[in-house]
Amino acid sequence: MKDKLSGRIWRFGDNVDTDQIIPAEYLVTMDSAELAKHVFAKARPGMSGKVSRGDIIVAGRNFGCGSSREHAPRALLGAGVSCVVAESFARIFFRNAINIGLPVIQASVDAAEGDTVSVDLKAGKIIVEQSGEEYGFQSYPPFVMMLVEKGGLMPYTKEMLQCRRSQ
């Protein structure tokens, strides 16, 4: 996972649920590129064609609430979203994102749609280019940071299984 990210903001409010991120009728594939075609199909029609690689979602409270569908963070990754910054996250979405390598950051950021934001994951710093405002955020707990650094739950699991074999 890259430490420094920069991208254009897509602004969302509170309680963005996973049915909005990827409606249930599209849960018939796990292909990120295919899922990306339908990202926010109902809540923001046309968004999928307009996301540029590296774009960042800035949202309010309880982002990713609802269903456990891992298709949601996969669709965002597939669409090119590099990071989600939200005041809080629903827990299953948060875990899914960490586990598949989509950075999710808990912070309250005042910025508008279309602004540019840069995120330094290691330093715990967010800067909004237009306003020059800087925001800090708490780093992950050590176990979660370890997962992030290894690239998610699968690389970690492979390592643990390897340890078991060599014992």
Partner 1 sequence: MGKTIAEKMLSDKSGRDVEAGEIVEARVDYVMVNDVTGPAAFDEFESLRVPLLRDKVILIPDHYVPNKDIASARQAKKMRDFALRHDVDNYFEVGSGGVCHQLMIEEGFAAPGRLIVGADSHTCSYGALGAFSTGIGSTEAATVFARGVLWFKVPESMRFTVDGGLGKHVMGKDIILTMIGDIGVEGALYRSMEVDGDTISSLSLSDRITIANMGIEAGAKTCIIPPDRKVDDYLAGRVRGEYAPVFADADADYMDSRQYDAAEIVPVVAKPHLPDNVAPASEVGVTIDQAYLGSCTNGRIEDFRAAAAIMKGRKVRRGVRMIVVPATKRVMEQAIEEGLVKIFMDAGAFVSGPTCGACLGGYMGILAPGEKCISSTNRNFVGRMGDKGSEVYLANPAVVAASAVAGRIVDPSEVTG
Per CB under 8 A, residues contacting partner 1 are 15, 17, 19-20, 23-25, 27-30, 42-43, 61-62, 65-71, 74, 88, 90-92, 95-96, 99-100, 141, 143-144, 147, 152-154, 157-158, 160-161
- Output 63 or 135, the one with its CB closest to partner 1: 63
- Tell me whether residue 10 is exposed, middle or buried, using C-beta atoms within 10 angstroms of its C-beta: 0 to 12, 13 to 18, 19 or more: buried
| Pairing of the two strands 125-128 and 116-120 | antiparallel
Closer residue to partner 1, CB minimum distance, 123 or 154 = 154
- 10 Å CB burial of residue 24 (0-12, 13-18, 19+) is exposed
Nearer to partner 1, 123 or 146 (CB): 146
Cα-Cα-Cα-Cα torsion 58, 105, 48, 113, nearest 10 degrees, comes to 20
Nearer to partner 1, 6 or 68 (CB): 68
Distance between CA atoms of 61 and 53, rounded to whole angstroms?
24
CB of 24 to partner 1, least distance (A): 4
Cα–Cα distance measured from residue 119 to residue 74, given in angstroms and rounded to the nearest whole number: 20
List the strands of the sheet with 104-106, edge to edge. Answer: 104-106, 83-86, 56-59, 4-11, 116-120, 125-128, 134-136
Least separation in angstroms between residue 33's CB and partner 1 is 14
Of the pair 123, 144, the CB lying nearest partner 1 is at: 144
CB of 26 to partner 1, least distance (A): 9
Shortest separation between residue 76's beta carbon and partner 1, angstroms: 14
At closest approach, how far in Å is the CB of 132 from partner 1? Answer: 31
